[in-house]
Amino acid sequence: MEQYKKEFIEFMIDCEVLRFGDFVTKSGRKTPFFVNTGFYRTGAQLRKLGEYYAKAIASTFGTDFDVLFGPAYKGIPLSVAASMALSEHYGADIRYCSNRKEVKDHGDKGILLGGPIGDGDRVVIIEDVTTAGTSIHETLPIIQAQGDVNVLGLVVSVDRMERGQGEKSALKEIEEQFGFKTTAIVTMADVVEHLYNREYKGRVVIDDKLKAAIDAYYEQYGAK
């Protein structure tokens, strides 16, 4: 596993973004782990997060595209932070764009904020995490309504590696249904590999009991 992936896993733990316990996902699944990017709360944290995203984006999609689209609400700071990192570290001046939940009828009217999207634009979508692929079905129509655009793909922070609507992973289903690439900074397999029975800052984050709960979750919801 690359060093930056190990650092990102520890970064998520430090920011309390990656948590372990009893949670329910947006799609209604009970899960022993949860990723909440709403817990990146400081400028320093967002700057660092943007750098990790930029590395994943550049590795998979390169930097020759036009718009980085972050669906509201959590995608808004993600698109801003990552576009800044792409500019700073890769010399790529890419427009950030997000949608509003409510259409604005005064000033800069419309459903979008940030840079515009139009015919011929190449777009990468940035999200926090995809569990069952629900959110992409809401996001794509918004982007496609702006013109004849080319969606290159989707980047998330963590691939939960669980089933989407069928037996395959949500990210794999998105690739097959919409015909574009998906990528993640890390997968849950990376997380388990790095943290299982390993002490980090004085504690073992994933012990045998938690590992058993994660294994049981994947028995039920894991992608085939």
Annotated catalytic residues are 104, 106
For residue 7, give the nearest of 185, 196, 203, 173 by alpha carbon.
185
Task: Please tell me the total number of residues recorded for the chain in this structure.
Answer: 224
Omega of the bond leading into 90 within 30 degrees of 0 (cis)? no
Residue 30 has a CB neighbour count (10 Å cut-off) of 11
Residues paired with residue 104 on neighbouring β-strands, in sequence order: 110
CB atoms within 10 A of CB 39: 13
Q: 1: how many CB neighbours lie within 10 A of its CB?
A: 12
Q: What is the dihedral of CA 170, 122, 72, 116, to 10 degrees?
A: -170
